[in-house]
Amino acid sequence: MSLDRHLAALDLLRDRPFGDRAHHVAELATAVPADAGQAEAERTALAGLLAARWGPPDRLGLGTLALRAERGEPLPEPWALLSTAVPDVELWRVGGRWIALGLTGAEGESPALLVCVTEVDPP
């Protein structure tokens, strides 16, 4: 676990201009399926550091968004993408941007720590 590297990567994403897309998504770390507990611990530790910076996060479940997308409702990016990748995110609003932190990987799959920075409000 390298929380310093994760923070540095997140800060780069947060400061980078958006260009054509109004979001940046990056995978910070990937674990093997047997290390799912370690991946969750890494997410918790990083969320703790971010909470110390920006205050406690909101927790946003994305299951409802996934259902809405399955029913054909158009969802804005990056929320449509996130709803297919992670079940929930820890979410901060910082300087006009949203920072979302989530953990991918269904049971038996390799979990990955995912971060998204966007100007698009959650639907």
Task: Tell me which residue of 51, 53, 42 sits closest to 3, measured CA to CA.
Answer: 42
| pLDDT single digits (tens) 22-72 | 999 999 988 777 677 888 889 999 999 999 999 999 999 999 999 999 999
Asked, for residue 17, whether it belongs to a domain, the answer is: yes
Average confidence score pLDDT of the chain: 92
Domain count, the chain: 1
| pLDDT single digits (tens) 83-100 | 999 999 999 999 999 999
Residues in the chain: 123
Asked, for residue 31, whether it belongs to a domain, the answer is: yes
- Cβ-count burial 9-36 (b if 16+ within 10 Å, e if not): bbeebeeeeeeeeebbbeebbebeeeeb
Asked, for residue 123, whether it belongs to a domain, the answer is: no
pTM score of the predicted model: 0.92
Domain that holds residue 50: 3-118
Asked, for residue 20, whether it belongs to a domain, the answer is: yes
